[in-house]
Amino acid sequence: MLKSSNSMARAKAHQDASQRVESVRRFNRFYTRQIGLLDRKLLRTPYSLAEARVIYELAHAGKITPTLLYHQLDLDPGYLSRILASLKRADLIASETSKDDRRETLLTLTNKGQVTFAVLNSRSQQQIQGMLDRLTEENQIRLIDAMKSIESLLEEDVKPSGVAYLLRPHQPGDMGWVVLRHGLLYYQEYGWDERFEGLVAEIVAHFIQNFDPKFEHCWIAEKDGENVGSVFLVKKSKTVAKLRLLLVEPKARGLGIGMRLVNECIRFARQAGYRKITLWTNSVLDAARHIYEKTGFHLVHEEAHHSFGDDLVGQTWDLNL
């Protein structure tokens, strides 16, 4: 009798396990259908899901070795190699030799790759927003809580990529955020009055009204779905670009975002054919000046002035490319 009971218990346990597996598989089939992962091309673009994931990882990392990319995506090395070759032929990614280790190759998105990522990112946001809009606010909260529960339960077995933020091109709503945060932060940290906020508003308005994507770019740093940084590279002349409005939120400082934003400006400027980048700052902005020095800029001029309700020393810094 005991033997029979044990056999029945094992059979039930096996049945329960099979049902759990089937429940997970059913959810996977449902969700992949919901967000269009079964489509041969993702989000009405020429790219597959795997290609889009590679583009997404490069947008996060800035520069990454093929080996690290392989570990993060857990793709077959041969398959990943074919994807990288295809994206290189399409001029979406470029490679360079690491300055720290000449044996290593670093992958990065080209300017065209950045634009492609912006399209994928925007369409993905629109798709998810459309899915959420079909739900009541209460059910949206239930859905997000359920997703957080799934992520929390499974994340112990997932190795984090080590990337804590995303850099992306600007989108609607970002310019207002840039003006607001510059106005508030510079008032809180330096006591500058609303005339500085007005100057920032003029700069972003001119950028939008005269935007030339071949020679100009805005990067927004995003962390946990929130904007935490910005920088602009604008055209001053055919050979000279100007770096403007570098900002990193206090809660996101120490992650290397400021350095990454400036390095993206330098990379873009070189690809766009500029010979020099120039910028204007003030001597009190110690953290920004430190970044400029580390990325190769040189102080070429400084002059005292009274602006934004304060006595300041303005500085011009240049980087020859």
Tens digit of each residue's pLDDT (9 = 90 or more) over 270-280: 989 999 999 99
8 Å CB contact between 131 and 139: no
Residues 6+ apart with CB under 8 A from 304: 311, 312, 313, 314
Residue 9 confidence (pLDDT): 66
Q: Which DSSP string do the residues of 246-308 spell out, in sequence order?
A: EEE-GGGTTSSHHHHHHHHHHHHHHHHT-SEEEEEEETT-HHHHHHHHHTT-EEEEEEEEEET
Whether the predicted pLDDT of 305 surpasses 70: yes
**For 221, phi and psi rounded to 5 degrees?**
-90, 130
Average pLDDT of the chain, as a whole number: 86
The span from the CA of 18 to the CA of 14, in Å, is 6
Share of the chain above pLDDT 70, in %: 90
Q: For residue 161, name the pLDDT band (cuts at 50, 70, 90).
A: very low
Residue 167 confidence (pLDDT): 87
With CA atoms as reference, report the closest residue to 265 among 202, 221, 313, 312: 221
Whether the predicted pLDDT of 184 surpasses 90: yes
Residue 203 confidence (pLDDT): 97
Write out pLDDT tens, residues 218-271. Answer: 999 998 889 999 999 999 999 999 999 999 999 998 888 999 999 999 989 998
Write out pLDDT tens, residues 113-139. Answer: 988 988 888 888 888 888 889 989 899
8 Å CB contact between 302 and 316: yes
The span from the CA of 288 to the CA of 284, in Å, is 9
Kindly calculate the radius of gyration of the chain based on its CA atoms and give it in whole angstroms: 24
8 Å CB contact between 241 and 235: yes
The span from the CA of 195 to the CA of 199, in Å, is 6
Check the CA dihedral 193-196-197-202 and report its sign: positive
Average pLDDT over residues 284-306: 95
The span from the CA of 92 to the CA of 47, in Å, is 11
DSSP state of 18: H
Q: For residue 159, name the pLDDT band (cuts at 50, 70, 90).
A: very low
The CA-based dihedral angle spanning residues 99, 104, 105, 108, taken in that order and rounded to the nearest 10 degrees: -60
Structure tokens at 252: 């996101």
Whether pTM > 0.85 for this model: the answer is no
Write out pLDDT tens, residues 57-112. Answer: 888 777 888 887 877 777 777 888 899 999 999 999 998 887 766 777 888 899 89
Q: What are the structural domains, with CATH classification, of the chain?
A: 42-157 (1.10.10.10), 166-320 (3.40.630.30)
